[in-house]
Structure 1
Amino acid sequence: MLITPDLRLDTRAVPFARRLAAFGDRPALLTRDGEVSYRDLADRVAQAARRLGPRRRLVLLAGANTVDALVTYLAALAAGHPVLLVPGDNAEAVRSLTDAYDPDVVAAPDRDGGWTLHERRAGSVHTLHEDLALLLSTSGTTGSPKLVRLSHDNVQANAESIATYLGIRPDDRAATTLPMHYCYGLSVINSHLLSGAGLVLTDLSVADPCFWDLLRARRATTFAGVPYTFDLLDRVGFADMDLPHLRYLTQAGGRLAPDRVTRYAGLGSRRGWDLFVMYGQTEATARMAYLPPERAAGRPRAIGIPVPGGSFRLEPHPDWPEPGTGELVYTGPNVMLGYAENPADLALGRTVGELRTGDIGRRAPDGLYEVVGRVSRFAKILGLRVDPERIESMLADRGITAYCAGDDDRLVVAAARSGVDAGHVRRLVVKECGLPPRSVHVHVLPELPRLASGKPDYRAVRDLTPTDAPLPTGPVDVARLCRLYAEVLDRPDATEDSTFTGLGGDSLSYVEMSLNLERTLGHLPPHWHTLPIRELLQAPGREPRKAAKALRTLDTSIALRAFAIVCVVGSHIPVFHIKGGAHLLLAVAGFNLARFHLTSAGRRERVRHARRSITRIVVPTMAWTALMLLLTEDYGLATLLLFESFLPPREGHVAPFWFIEVLVFLLLAVTALVAVPAVDRLERRHPFGLPMALAALALLTRYDVLGLRDRIHLPSAFVVPWLFALGWAAAKASTVRQRLLVTGAALLTVPGFFSGEPAREALIMAGFVLLVWVPSLPSPGPVNRVAGLLAGSSLYIYVVHWQVYPRVDQFSGWLALVASLAAGVAYAAVAARVARGLPVLPPLLRRARA
C-alpha cells in the first residue's frame, strides 16, 4: 500500500513502512498518555513523507524513543530517503556527522523541545545509490564517520527473519528499552511494526519503578536487554515481579554469562515466558543467530543457529589452529552493502557479499554454534562496541602515548609516564567511548609493555591489575558519601547537595552505586537516586521542631521561576533534559501580571505600571542583542527587534528569543486591552471570568481549530496564550470552586501539546498545580536567597546564556550552567545600576567578594 501519491512508483523503499495502514485500528504506539493506531500512524507518516518530498535526500535523524522521531524514520523509509540515524542525546555526534556527511535534511528536537525538519536544501548534493536505505554507526562508535550502509532489502529481510523466529504476533507489545539509534533497539521497532504489533514507547530504565508501572499498564509482552540490563533486573527484584502478560525476553549486545543464561532460562520456564539469547552485528542489520529457548538452559555458552535466511561457514585462521575452529563468516540477505567513510561512498552499491564477523567460532555436534575468541581488537564492553585503536589515536592526538585493551567488563588503558594524569586520561576515554567511568581502568607506567618483536603486548595490558583508589572507608558521614559518589561516578565535584542523577548517573552505574550505598549505609533509602547526598543520612527520629526551625517559606512563584530558568538553561546546554520550563514561565508570567499589575489601582496607573514592566524586559534584551550584533554573527535585525519568531522559520535555525518575544507580545496585548475603559471595567467586575474566557478563546489556536498551520506560519505568540491566560486566572481564583476550575482546565489542555513528551507536559501541569494550590513552600534560608536571586535575574539569564554556554560547555556542561546563571545575575546587577544611574563596578565587586 503506497502511503503517498507524491512518490514516484519506481522509488525503492522499505515495504513494511508503506503498509502500516493495513493493520487498521490496532494500537501501534503506546505511551503513558495514550495510543496511536496503525491507521493514525500511517497518516502521520504520509504527512511527514510529503514534507520530505518525492526527490531523494539524505536525512540525518536524531534518534529517540519518541513519536516524532519514529514517524520521521518511517516516513523516510517509506519515501525512499536514506536515513543517517544518530543518537539524539549526543550533541557532539550530531554535529560531527552533520559536518562529515552534509545531510540535506536534519530532523531533530529544537532548542525548546519541539521537533523540526531543517531542510538545508530542496534537492540533494549527494549521489545516493538506489539501494541505500539506512546508515548506522556501529554501537559504541557513534561519533565515527565510518558508517554501515544498509539497503531496503537488508532492513526488510532482517525484520522478517526476527519476526519469524520470535513468532511475533499482532497482539504482542514490545517496550523500547534500548535506544533507537542502536541496531538492536531499531530491530525491535522494525520487527514489531512489520508484524502489526505494538510498541510501548519509553526511554525509562528498567531500574526505574515507573518503567514497570508502564509495562503493566500497557500489557507489554516483551522487552530487550543487553548484558547489563540483566544486572539491573537482578537489582530491582525482577524474579519476584508479577508480570502476567510477559511472553518472552530477548538478549543481545554482548555475551551474557552462561550462569546468567541458565538462571534466566529456568526462571522463564517457571514463570511462563521464554528467553531468546541472540547474536548479531550492525553490519548484519541486527541479528545473525539465536539460541532456541528450549536449548538455553542446557547450552548457555552457545550463540545458537543462524536466523532464517542466513548461514555460517568457518574460515580457518592461522592464530587459531584448534581443529574445528575458524572465523565465523555469515551470509544472508541482511548483510550490509558495505561501509561508508565519506559522502562519496553513498553512491556505492554492494561492495561485500558476506560478513567476516571477527569472531572465532566452532560448530558443536548438536549443530549449535559457539564463539570461542576474537580475531580483531574490537571489544564489546557492557554491550558497547569499543575500538581500542580509535581510543589510542584520540589520545595520541593529545600527545599521550597509550595502549588499550578490553574484555567483557572493562577497558584497560596503559599510558606512558610523562606527566600524564590518570584521571584526565580516564575522562578523555569515557567521553570518547561512552563507557561508565568505573569500567575504564587507567595505568600510568614507566614503560609500555611490548613483545620481543617490539609490538605492543596487549595481553599484558589486559592483565594489568586494577589500580583504582579504594572506595572510602571510615565513619559514615556526608563527606564519606561525597567521596563515594566522586569515586564511583568519577565526579570530584560531588557535594552534599548532589544527587545520583544530577551527577550524570545512568543505568550503567546504577548497580554499582546502589550496592556500595547499601554496603555503606546498611540499607538503601527509597528513591535514593533522586535524593541529595546529605538527605541519605537523615535519621528517621529527627526532631520535627528542630527541623521546622531550620525552614522558612518561599513564595511558590519565585520557586517556580528559579526552577524553570535553571531547567531552561540546563536543557539547552544540555546537562539534563528537564523540559517545559519556558512554558511554565509563561503561566507564571500571567500569574504575576494579575498579581502585580491588575490591582485596584486606577486604569491609567495600571497601564503605566504595565508599560514600565514591558520596558524592563525589552530594553535589556535589545541592549544585549545589539551588543552581540556588533561582536558576533549570532543575531540579525529581526532578533534585535524581537520579531524573529513571527517570521517563517529559516533552515536549521530556531528563534532564540521566542519566549521573550511571546511574553512581550502578550503583555502588550493585555495592556492594550485594559487601556480600554470598557475592558478595564469588565476585568474589575469579572476578574476571574475574563481571563478564563480569554483562555477559552485562545484554545482556537492551541488546537488549531481553523486549520491555520496548514496555510501559514503560526508563531508561538498565537499558539501559547492560553497558558498565559490560565496563569492570570489562577492568580484571580478566590474560591475553591474557581481553583478547581482553572486547575482542571490546565490538566485537560496541556496534555497533547507536546506530542510524545509526557514528562514535559507533566512538569508544566505540576508547576501549575503548585501555583494554584500552594502559595508558599517550606525552604531553608540559604535556598530562599539563591532562589530569589535566580528568579529576579531569570530574564537576564535567559538573554545571555545563548552566548555563555557554547563557549564553556566544551570544558564542562555543569560549569557552563553555572557560568550562564552567574553571567545572567551579573547582567541583572548591571542593568539595575544603569537604570538607577549608579556606577556599575562597586556592586559587582561586592558580589564577587561575597
Structure 2
Amino acid sequence: MLPLASLLPALRTVPFVRDLALHGDRPAVVTADGEISYADLARRVADCAARLGTTRRLVLVVGANTVDSLVAYLGALYGGHPVLLVPGGNTAALTALVEAYDPDVVLGPADGWAVDERRTDTAHDLHPDLALLLSTSGSTGSPKLVRLSAANLQANAEAIVEYLGIRETDRAVTSLPLHYCYGLSVVHSHLARGAALVLTDLSVADACFWDLLRAARGTSLAGVPYTFDLLDRVGFAEMDLPHLRYVTQAGGRLAPERVRHYAELGRRGGWDLFVMYGQTEATARMAYLPPDLAVHHPQAIGVPVPGGAFRLAPVPDHPDPAVGELLYTGPNVMLGYAETPADLALGRSVDELRTGDLARRGPAGLYEIVGRRSRFAKILGLRIDPQRVEALLSRHGVAATCVGGDDELVVAVVGEADARTVRRLVADEVGLPPRAVRVLVLAELPRLASGKPDLAGLRALAAAPPATAAPALPAQRGLARSAQPTDTATTDAAGGVPAAGTSVDDLCRLYAEVLDRDDVRPELSFVDLGGDSLSYVEMSVRLEQELGHLPANWHTLPIAALRAPQRPRGRRRSLETSVALRAAAIVLIVGSHIPLFTVTGGAHLLLGVAGFNFARFQLTSAGRRDRLRQIGASLARIVLPTMAWIGAVMLFNDQYRVSTLLLVHSLFGPDDARTEWHFWFVEAVVYLLVGLAALVALRRVDRLERRHPFALPMGLTVLGLLGRYDVFGLDARYDLPAALVAGWLFTLGWAAARADGVGQRLLVTVAAAVTVPGFFGQPAREALIVAGFALLVWLPTVPSLGVVNRVAGVLAGSSLYIYLTHWQVYPHLRDWPLVALAASLALGIAYAVVVGRVGRVVAAALRPGDFRCARERHGPQVDKLHL
C-alpha cells in the first residue's frame, strides 16, 4: 500500500490516468507477449509515480510503443509531474531537448528501462496547470513546444470517445508513434473509456503487424496519408479483418478520391472511415467527418469535435471572400507555446487557436480546408499557394510536395513523373515562367516520422549542392515506426542509429549492392525492397558478417533497426538455418549421386525448405493478386533456367525427351526412362506452386490463409498424407507424381514457417517425427529429414564460422543450378569422386552467375518502364522461390 503522501499528486492529475484501477480486470494493454489488465497497469503506474516522488519535477520521457514507455508516461502524469515527451530512436532530438530544457528526470531505454534522476528537486518554476509538453515539429528536436494542461488532455479524450463511439470492448492498435499527438490521442481516448490498446512498434508494412491485429481482435486502426499508401501496397483491401469497426485518418490531407475509395471499401468491409482534422496545439483533434458523409463530401474535414467551435477570420488578400483563416475554440486548446525553460511557469496565453489553415464552410455546414496561409510564397511578385499546386498534380496522378524559395517554387515529385511535363503544368497553373519552377524527381517524398511532409527537409535538399543532393535522399523518413531503433548511439544523417562499426549508410549500400536497387532507404526492409529467397541467402551471410549476428525476422525489419553489439575479435558467428540446410542438402545430393558417400534424403529435405521459403517470401501481407504475381514470378525463375539447361543438353545428345523439357515427364513420360527422373524434384515444386496458386486465387482461401496462417498448411498436410500413405491405392496403378506423393513435406515446411509458440512448433516436430519414418524404409534417410525439420522449427540460426558462412551462402544460393547441371558432370568423373563433387558444384555456381547476370540485364531493360511501375503499384514483394 502506497503512503498517502505519494497519492496526493494524483488528485491533480489527468482523470483518466488517475482512474485506471476503476476498470478492474479488463484488458488494458495487449502485446505479442500477452495481456495486461487495468488493475495491473494501475499498479505499475502507481509504482512509477512513487519512484518519482512527491516533489513536482520536469520529467522527460522517451516515447516508444512499448509497455515500459507507456508506464513511464502514465506514471509521470499520475504523479502530477509535467511530461516532456520526446521521440524514441532519435538521439539528436533527445540531446537537443535535454540541452534546451534541462529536465529534472529522464526516463528512457538504457540496458532496459532506466530512471536518470538528474536532481532530487526541480530547477524549474512549473505552472500548476502544466501537464504535457509536445514538440510542434515532429521529431526534429525543435525547442518550440506546445504546453498542454490536464484539462486539455481529458477534454480531448472525452470528445474523441464521444464522436468515435469508443466502447469498452474496443481494441485499438498503436499504428502511430506514442510521441506523435495523433498516436497519443488514440492512447488517451481508449484509456479514458476503459478500452484496450494493442501495443506494437511494428509498421503496417510488416506482415507481423496484421498477424498481431487479427490475433488480438483489433477493432480500430489509425493512419496518416502515408499510412494509406502503405495499406495500398500491402493489399489491405483484400484482407480479412473480422473485428475491425473503424479506421481513422488525420495528420494531413488525404486526396478526396482516396477518401471516397476507403469510405466505400469500409462500407463493403463492414467498418467506418473517420476523416479527422487536428493540430498539436489543440491537443489532437478539432474536427471529424461523420462516416456517412465521407463518400459524398470527401474533400471536407467535417464538423467541430464535441465541445469545440470554429469561425472564419477574413483574409484581406485572398480572392475568394468565402475563404477565411480557420480559428478554433474549445477546452482542448493549448495553454500556449514554450521556447525556453522560463516559459514553463506561464499560464494560459491562448484562448482561440489560429490554425493557419484557410477554409470555407459548405452549404451542409461542413468545413473544408482549401490552403495553408503560412505556406503561401511570393515569387516574382506572385502569391503562390503550394497546396493548390500539390492538388493540381494529384489530379494528374503525380504525388508532390511543394515549398516556396526566394525566387523559385520547388516541386518534389515521385515515381515516373517527367520533370518537363510537371514544370509546364505548374507554370501554366500559377502563372510563373518555367525557369521559376524547379522540379526534383525523388524516390520518395521527404516525410517526418509522423508521416507528414518534411518541408524543412525538402528545403534543405533543394539548397544542397548537386554533388550532395543525391546522397541526401536516404534521409527521407516514412511512417515506419519500426525503423526507429531505441539505441542511444549518435544518429547518422538518415535518422537511424549506426551499429557499432557499421552505420546505417553502410547497411543501405550493402542492400543496394546485393539487391541491385538504387532506391534503398533506412526505413525499408529486405521484403519491402523486393528481396527473394536467392538474395536472402547472400544478404543473410553478408549481414551476419557485418553485424556479427542475425536478428530474428531480420528480413522484415527496417534497415535502420538493424544493430550490431560491440563484440571482440573472434566473435562467434551464426548462419541462418534454412541457408545451412540448403547448402548441406545440395552437397549431400551430389555426393550421394557420384557416389562419394551415401547420405540420402537431401532432396526431400529441400522440399520442406522450399515450403518454408514459400511461406516467408510468397505469402506476404500483399494482396491476393500480388501474391499470384509473386508465385508466377517464382515459377518463371524456376522453369526458365531449368528448360534452358535441359534444352541445351538436348542439342548435344538424346539423354532427355520432350516430356523432360516441358517438365511433364512424371505425367506423360515413358515408364522405362532412365534419366528423366533427374528432375522429379523440380517438377514437384512447379506442380505444387501451380496448385497453390490456384488455391490462393480463390478469395475465400486467401482470406482463410490470412486468418489461420498455421492451421491452413497443417490441414493441407493432412490432405497430402492421403498421397503419402496411398490411401486410395492410386499410386500402384497410375504412378502418381512426386507432388502428390511427397507434397506433404512442402506443406509441412510451410507450417514450420508459420509455427508461432511452443505448441505449434511441437506439433510440426511431432508431425515430422510420426509421418516421415516408413516413407522410404531407410531409417538414416528418414532421420535426416526429421532432424532438418526440427532445426527449421526450433533454431533460427546455427553456430558457424565466417568462412563457412561464405561458402554456405554460395552453395545455397546456387542450389537450384547445381541440381540442374550436376547430372552432366559427375558421370564423366566417377573415378575421381572428389573432383566430380568439386566440378559439379563449380559448374552449378557458374550457371547461377550466368542466370543472375541475364536476370539483371532483363531487369535493367525493363526499368524504368512497366516492371518498375508494377512494383510501385503493387508493392515491393515481387518475389521468387529458390531451392
Q: Which TM-score applies when normalising by structure 2?
A: 0.51
**1:129-140 alignment runs, 5 A limit:** 129-140=127-138
Deviations 1:748-789 (Å, cap 9, x if unpaired)?
Answer: 9xxxxxxxxxxxxxxxx99993577999996334979xxxxx
2:236 aligned with 1:252: no
Q: Report the secondary structure of 1:126's partner residue.
A: coil
- 1:377 positional shift: 1.9
The counterpart of 1:340, out of the listed 338, 341, 344, is: 338
Aligned to 2:806: 780
Residue equivalent to 2:514: 497
Separation (CA, whole Å) in 2 of partners of 1:251 and 1:338: 26
- One-letter amino acid matched to 1:19: D
Q: Is the 8 A contact 1:314 1:326 kept in 2?
A: yes
| Identical columns (%) | 54
Counterpart pick for 1:194 among 192, 195, 200: 192
SS of the counterpart of 1:366?
Answer: coil
SS in 2 for 1:314: strand
Relative distance call for 1:190 and 1:108 in structure 2 (3 A) is same
**Residue deviations 1:139-187, cap 9 Å, x none?**
4363211011111100110000001100000100001011111110000
What is the correspondence of 1:560-571 to structure 2 with a 5 Å cutoff? 563-564=547-548
1:769 aligned onto 2:795: yes
2:60 matched residue in structure 1: 60
SS of 1:179's partner is coil
Write the deviation string for residues 60-96 of structure 1: whole angstroms up to 9, x where unpaired. Answer: 1111000000001101111111111111111100000
Q: Tell me by how many angstroms 1:365 deviates.
A: 1.6
Give the CA deviation at 1:490: 13
Q: Which amino acid aligns with 1:769?
A: L
**1:119 match:** 117
Partner Cα distance (1:491, 1:560) in 2: 15
- Report the residue type matching 1:348 in the other structure: L
Unpaired runs of at least 5, structure 1 = 393-400, 413-420, 447-467, 469-487, 511-525, 539-549, 590-742, 749-764, 785-850
One-letter amino acid of the counterpart of residue 561, structure 2? H
1:301 aligned partner: 299
Structure-2 change in CA distance of 1:402 and 1:33 (3 Å): farther
Q: Distance in 2 between matches of 1:6 and 1:205?
A: 38
Q: 1:371 to 1:770 in 2, by over 3 A?
A: closer
SS at match of 2:126: coil
- For structure 2, the residue ranges without an aligned partner over 5 or more in a row are 377-385, 392-398, 416-421, 424-437, 466-472, 474-504, 574-756, 763-790, 811-883
Distance 1:342 1:105, change over 3 A: same
Aligned-partner residue type, residue 295 of structure 2: A
* Alpha-carbon distance, 1:351 to partner: 0.4
**Count of aligned positions:** 520
> How many Å separate the matches in 1 of 2:55 and 2:401?
37
8 Å CA contact 2:144–2:339 kept in 1: the answer is: yes
Amino acid at match of 1:297: V
Asked whether the equivalents of residues 86 and 93 of structure 2 are also in contact (C-alpha less than 8 Å), the reply is yes
Q: Does 1:577 align with 2:585?
A: no
Task: Kindly provide the amino acid, as one letter, of the partner of residue 44 in structure 1.
Answer: R
- Structure 2 residue identity aligned to 1:497: V
Q: 1:261 to 1:341 in 2, by over 3 A?
A: same
Partner SS, residue 276 of structure 2:
strand
CA distance in 2: counterparts of 1:323 and 1:530, whole angstroms: 51
Q: Aligned letter for 1:251? A: Q
Per the alignment, in what secondary structure is the counterpart of residue 134 of structure 1?
strand
Deviation of residue 561 (structure 1)?
9.3
Structure 2 counterparts to residues 101-250 of structure 1, below 5 A: 101-110=101-110, 112=111, 114-140=112-138, 142-250=140-248
Aligned-partner residue type, residue 185 of structure 2 = S
Distance 1:135 1:244, change over 3 A: same
Q: Secondary structure at the match of 2:49?
A: helix
Q: Deviations over 1:310-334 (max 9, x none)?
A: 0001111112242322111000000
* CA gap 1:774/1:129 in 2 versus in 1, 3 angstroms: same
For 1:361, give the aligned amino acid. Answer: A
Secondary structure of residue in 1 paired with 2:202: coil
Shift in alpha-carbon separation, 1:368–1:24, aligned structure 2, 3 A: same
Cα distance per residue 1:616-646 (max 9 Å; x no partner): xxxxxxxxxxxxxxxxxxxxxxxxxxxxxxx
State the distance in 2 between where 1:314 and 1:353 align.
15
Aligned-residue offset at 1:587:
12
Aligned equivalents of 1:35 and 1:432: distance in 2? 28
1:69 aligns to what?
69
Query: Residue type of the partner of 1:144?
Result: S
Shift of 1:505: 3.8
Matching residue's letter, 1:72? A
Task: Work out whether residues 311 and 327 of structure 2, in 8 Å CA contact, stay in contact via their aligned partners in 1.
Answer: yes
Match of 1:831 in 2: none
Deviations 1:414-452 (A, max 9, x none): xxxxxxx999x9999889999689994856799xxxxxx
Report the AA paired with residue 278 of structure 2.
G
- For 1:275 and 1:287, the matched residues in 2 are separated by 15
1:787-819 CA-to-partner distances (Å, cap 9, x unmatched) read xxxxxxxxxxxxxxxxxxxxxxxxxxxxxxxxx
Distance of 1:9 and 1:431 partners within structure 2:
35
Tell me which moved more, 495-504 or 358-367: 495-504
Written as runs of structure 1 = structure 2, the 5 A alignment for 1:418-567 is: 440=458, 495-497=512-514, 503-506=520-523, 527=527, 529=529, 531=531, 535=535, 563-564=547-548
Q: CA separation in 1, counterparts of 2:533 and 2:180?
A: 33
TM-superposed CA distance for 1:240, in Å, is: 1.2
SS at match of 2:56: coil
CA deviation vs aligned residue, 1:685-731 (integer Å, no higher than 9, x gap): xxxxxxxxxxxxxxxxxxxxxxxxxxxxxxxxxxxxxxxxxxxxxxx
Asked if 1 retains the 8 angstrom alpha-carbon contact of 2:523 and 2:560, the reply is: no
Q: Distance in 2 between matches of 1:406 and 1:306?
A: 33
Q: In the aligned structure 2, how far is the partner of 1:387 from the partner of 1:422?
A: 9
Counterpart position of 2:497: none
Question: Where does residue 80 of structure 1 map in the other structure?
Answer: 80
CA distance in 2, matches of 1:584, 1:291: 58
Residue aligning to 1:48: 48
5 Å matches for 1:683-698? none
Question: Once superposed, what is the RMSD of the aligned Cα atoms?
Answer: 5.2
- What is the deviation of 1:347? 0.4
After superposition, the Cα gap between the structure-2 partners of 1:259 and 1:560, relative to the gap in structure 1 and judged at 3 Å, is closer
Cα pair distance change 1:386/1:186, threshold 3 Å? farther
Query: Within 1, Cα distance between the matches of 2:401 and 2:184?
Result: 20
Provide the residue aligned with 1:284 in structure 2.
282
Residue 492 and residue 66 in structure 1: after superposition, are their counterparts in 2 closer, same or farther (change >3 A)? closer
Contact 1:564–1:585, Cα closer than 8 Å, also in 2:
no
Distance in 2 (CA, whole Å) between partners of 1:67 and 1:325 is 45
Gap change, CA 1:567 and 1:320, over 3 Å in 2: same
The match for 2:14 is 14
Per-residue deviation at 1:125?
Answer: 0.2
More displaced stretch, 372-381 vs 185-194: 372-381
The 3 A distance-change label for structure 1 pair 57 and 245 is same
The 5 A counterparts of 1:324-335 are 324-335=322-333
- Which one has more relative contact order, counting CA pairs under 8 Å at least 6 apart? 2
CA distance in 2, matches of 1:115, 1:201: 17
- Could you say what secondary structure the match of 1:42 adopts? helix
| Residue 407 (structure 1) shift | 8.8
Between the aligned partners of 1:258 and 1:84, the Cα distance in structure 2 is: 36
Relative distance call for 1:323 and 1:429 in structure 2 (3 A) is closer
Q: What corresponds to 2:24 in structure 1? A: 24
Helix, strand or coil: the match of 1:344?
helix
